[in-house]
Structure 1
Amino acid sequence: MGGALGKDDSPKCCTPETKLEAKMVEAMQRRESEGSTMKSFNSIILKFPKIDESLRKCKAIFEQFDEDANNAIDPEELKRCFRKLEINFSEEEVKDLFEACDINDDMGMNFNEFIVLLCLVYLLKEDPVAVHAKSRMGMPDLEATFETLVDAFVFLDKNKDGYVSKSEMVQAINETDTGERSSRQIAMKRFEEMDWDKNGMVNFKEFLFAFTRWVGIDDCEDEEGEENV
């Protein structure tokens, strides 16, 4: 078991800032009880190209719902998108998700923000009461990719509290490396890239935003897609 690992880290992990974050953490903890299939941080890195390719295919979905073709999905377009994909969230949940993923606060969701939102929907819809809606998004390939991302987070979160701490990141990367001195620096750099609010803990949303940058989807116009790993 993960034991006491991470206990030296910020106690903020126990106080989610929003109702949505609390739901996210709860859903992740449920998923973490099943364990992870990932064996090392390298196994996550090796999946980058496949994840990248799968997420880029999302562009067609994004364009379909960006009705005014302004490269952003606004709250009304998102509501119609949810109806079309048969995602049954309450109006308040849709609003919370939009606000959580619209990180520029410009009332328009760009491509990588939209990907993060869909992945959060995937995690939240793993709720036991929604089991009957297993393929609810009707996008099996995309769901397999989202599952890989959830699985990667579960691998990193050693104490299964729904957050990744700095010490957990160091441990995950040390498990991979054969004692190279650089592994700790790599872990710290990766962790800093994820910990946007600098509170010492990374939730699933922060992890996803970092991930879209690592695989080169941070800017959908930027087609370089290299992962300087």
Structure 2
Amino acid sequence: MASKKTIIKKIQIVLTKHFDSPQDAFNFFDKNGDGKLSKKEVVRLLKEAEINGFIRGLVGSKLIEGYDKDGDGKIDWKEFKVALKEMSRDVE
């Protein structure tokens, strides 16, 4: 299984190489436009980051569990920004 650091690095690569800003990435993966990323939308981001299909669902659940501060089962823009900041610290 890929390490946490490897997964975070792959996510960062997708967000920085394919999008002009984190907001653009968030909007792209927020397919239904509700301002929040559901587990399905997070899993789509992980697929773009080439995270193995076997662990994609698990990692998606853990990301939501770790960053969903308001308890709605989704990641909103504010929570997404916090996640990005924490992920960049974890890779350093």
Q: TM-score range with shorter-chain normalisation?
A: 0.5 to 0.7
Q: CA RMSD in A?
A: 2.7
Instruction: Give the paired residue count.
Output: 80
TM (normalized to structure 1)?
Answer: 0.30
Deviations 1:59-87 (A, max 9, x none): xxxxxxxxxxxxxxxxxxxxxxxxxxxxx
User: Where in structure 1 do 4 or more consecutive aligned residues deviate above 6 Å?
Assistant: none
Computing the radius of gyration from Cα coordinates, the structure with the larger value is 1
Deviations 1:124-154 (A, max 9, x none): xxxxxxxxxxxxxxxxxxxxxxx51101211
Q: 1:181 aligns with which of 31, 54, 64?
A: 54
Q: 1:156 aligns with which of 25, 29, 34?
A: 29
- Give the drift of 1:179: 5.1
Identical columns (%): 30
Aligned pair 1:215/2:85, yes or no?
Answer: no
- Give the drift of 1:163: 1.3
The 3 A distance-change label for structure 1 pair 215 and 175 is closer
Find the counterpart in structure 2 of residue 45 from structure 1: 12
Q: What letter matches 2:35 in structure 1?
A: G
CA distance in 2, matches of 1:195, 1:156: 16
TM (normalized to structure 2)?
Answer: 0.66
Q: 1:197 aligns with which of 63, 70, 85?
A: 70
CA distance in 2, matches of 1:167, 1:189: 13
Aligned pair 1:170/2:43, yes or no?
Answer: yes
The 3 A distance-change label for structure 1 pair 213 and 178 is closer
Aligned pair 1:227/2:91, yes or no?
Answer: yes
- Give the drift of 1:213: 0.7
Q: Any unmatched runs of 5+ in structure 2? A: 1-9
Alignment of 1:1-229 (within 5 A): 42=10, 44-46=11-13, 148-177=21-50, 180-216=53-89, 226-227=90-91
Q: Is the 8 A contact 1:174 1:184 kept in 2?
A: no
SS at structure 2 position matched to 1:159: coil
- Give the drift of 1:174: 2.9
Q: Is the 8 A contact 2:69 2:79 kept in 1?
A: yes
